[in-house]
A and B are shown apart, each in its own frame.
Chain A
Amino acid sequence: MARVTIDSVRKVYDDTVAVENVSLTVPDGEILGLLGPSGCGKTTTLRTVAGFETPTEGTVAFDDEDVTHVPPEDRNIGLVFQTYALFDNMTVGENVAFGLKMRGVDPAKRRARAEELLELLGIGGLSDRDPQTLSGGQQQRVGLARALAIEPRVLLLDEPMTGLDAKLKRRLRNELGELLDELGVTALYVTHDQAEAMSMCDRIAVMNDGHVEQVGTPREVYERPANAFVADFVGTANVLDGVVSDGTLDLGFERVPAAGAPEGPATVVARPEAFRADSDGEIPVAVTERTYQGDHVRATVTLPDETAVTLRLDPATLTDDENVRLTLDPTALHVTDVDVEADSDGAVIPN
């Protein structure tokens, strides 16, 4: 496996800038998620690493080798697609062995390696099957086995679970995460699903409009979003206005310690879990909307200063009473240095 370095990559199609000044480093053995909405440039970045796109500016390197102008077939990469992209004219085994065949490995060794990988992915015994007869989950495993068979320097996964149902996605996510960790694969994982990125990736690069907004561990990105976009895209964020003075953050309805925060007006990102329903709580709120989600109730409440925030409440403790008391966990607040505001539903809007 290799370290991947994307340095100041810019990609322009006609007059459209798809990717602007993207610089990322994926250390050997790390899984880096590229997370963002449709059209944010994550797939273009992945295709640039794969060699299917040549950057307008910037470079791509595997370890210390500049591969910017190396064709895809000479990069030794494994590619897993959302659409599986299996070869329908070949059996499952032939699909997995294809890369080895292209490398001149003899048929017996190819077959043995294919069987070994299929076994590893829990689909041993399907080697002679037609890929079209397999379920979506099985096809995706075949696609992964095929990509891993060549022992790629980098594994590139482009929304590999988008076509799967929620339950299968959860299962495959766990299995795939464990497998990639076990194999120590360097991987770029493109997804628009933040839950998937958080559970699969060692670090996440959140992209928006061709730029990288933040790179960090899932926890860093969630708990300390660099800006409004990241706060809103990764999870639910409540944006509150406050003032920091003498190490205390005054939110209007509550004062909490804020040692180290810059003095003056502050924008605060509070995740739903920063609030807890508590009969002894000091913040009285009115519940304006509640949506039952099974393991929790997603509620919108109005704070004493008329700000609307979104919370996760325990269905067992929630009554029909519209008036609830909350406590606020000051350690779960994040003071941003970026100018943001919230719309009427509490969603973050970058200024």
Chain B
Amino acid sequence: MSTSGRIADVLPAVRGAVEDLGSVAVPTTERDRERRRIAALCAPFAVLLVVAGVYPLLEVVRISVSVERFETVGFTLSAYRTLVTDPYYRRVAFNTLWFAALTTLVSVALAVPIAHALEKYDLPGEGLFVTLVSFPISLPGIVAAFMMLVLFGNNGVLTNVVATFAGANPTDVAVAVSVPGLFLAFVYSMVPRATLILRGTYAEVEEAAEEAAQALGATPLQTFRYVTFPQIRPGITGALILTFRTGLAIFGTLIVIQTLLVWTLQLDRELSAGAFPVAGAMATVYFVFVFGFTALGLRYTSAEVGL
């Protein structure tokens, strides 16, 4: 296509964009005024997104391809090559994925009955129950890990109870500083997030359809399988995606319980060691993976979740 042809194609779009901007700046219809209100409401976040999101991210990408360690100069993909070819990083990636996946599955599996109970029944002390379930959301990961130590560490309450009954040495039964301990800390942090999403989904379940199924002879379990579950499936998929993302992002807990080398912990180590290009590459890969994973999840499922 000739240059003039390409310009001819682009011109109407440019003209349209300019007209749109003009109509937002000087609205003449109610739709224009509505768009101006939307622009005004979103402007602060848009500024924040550019200043604190897009720009730093671009800088991180730039650092990841820098030839020099402490200077962003030149272009090389050696940091990415290291991530792909070095077995150490591959193991970190593998640890990250299986651990996040497993904790996600368990968290969502626990969240489904919790959401079911909260949305379907009038529970005694429901307010307290909701508070307890949602409490970990506002708890820093580092505190969650500390709580694990209090419970399951060498001097932990439950460790000592188990040791007493088993006639064993507490240090032999302590699980806090182990993969199972880390697993519990992760799940503790992730269940509330999954529950929150699933409660929203449960609230939209058509109760009349469930009652129709029951009237037609379906047991409560069959009603869940044939009627409730298909309705909450998009919510479960959404909960899986978001909880998995949470699992990938957890860092505070890992600072205390460093029993499994995962991506965020290794990233911290790279930064501490001043290996900025590798750290930049790890951050970029992380971002691309999470973004791509969520986009694919949205593309191929009916998950009720946004990017």
Whether A102 and B212, one on each chain, are in contact in the complex, defined by CB atoms closer than 8 angstroms, is no
Q: Which of A58-89 contact B (CB under 8 A)?
A: 71-79, 81, 83, 85-89
For A102, give its contact among B208, B211, B216, B230 (CB under 8 Å).
B216
Interface residue A99 (Cβ < 8 Å from any Cβ of B): yes
Query: Size of chain B's interface in residues, with CB distance under 8 A?
Result: 17
What B residues does A146 contact at CB under 8 A? 212, 216
Nearest chain A residue, comparing its CB with the CB of B227: A87
Nearest chain B residue, comparing its CB with the CB of A104: B217
For A73, give its contact among B206, B208, B219 (CB under 8 Å).
B219
Whether B211 and A89, one on each chain, are in contact in the complex, defined by CB atoms closer than 8 angstroms, is no
CA gap between A79 and B217 in the complex, in Å:
11
Whether B212 and A79, one on each chain, are in contact in the complex, defined by CB atoms closer than 8 angstroms, is yes
What B residues does A89 contact at CB under 8 A? 227, 230-231
Place the interface of chain A in its size category. 20 to 34
CA gap between A77 and B215 in the complex, in Å:
6
Whether B227 and A72, one on each chain, are in contact in the complex, defined by CB atoms closer than 8 angstroms, is no
A139 CB to closest chain B CB (Å) equals 12
Q: Given the known inter-chain contacts A98-B226, A102-B222, please indicate yes or no for A85 contacting B211, CB distance below 8 A.
A: yes
What A residues does B231 contact at CB under 8 A? 88-89
Chief secondary structure at chain B's binding surface: helix
Choose among B208, B211, B217, B231 the residue with the greatest number of A CB atoms under 10 Å from its CB: B217
Whether B216 and A85, one on each chain, are in contact in the complex, defined by CB atoms closer than 8 angstroms, is no
What B residues does A147 contact at CB under 8 A? 215-216
Nearest chain A residue, comparing its CB with the CB of B218: A102
What A residues does B212 contact at CB under 8 A? 79, 81, 85-87, 143, 146
For B209, give its contact among A85, A99, A102 (CB under 8 Å).
A85
8 chain-A/chain-B pairs, Cβ below 8 angstroms: A72-B214, A85-B209, A87-B212, A98-B213, A98-B218, A102-B213, A147-B216, A150-B216
Q: What is the interface of chain A, defined by CB distance below 8 A to chain B?
A: 50, 52, 71-79, 81, 83, 85-90, 98-99, 102-103, 143, 146-147, 150, 156
Q: What is the interface of chain B, defined by CB distance below 8 A to chain A?
A: 206, 208-209, 211-219, 222, 226-227, 230-231
Knowing that A146-B212, A146-B216 are A-B contacts, what are 18 other residue pairs whose CB atoms are under 8 Å apart, sorted by A's residue number?
A50-B211, A52-B214, A72-B215, A73-B216, A73-B218, A81-B212, A83-B206, A85-B206, A86-B212, A87-B213, A88-B231, A98-B216, A98-B218, A102-B216, A102-B217, A143-B212, A147-B215, A147-B216
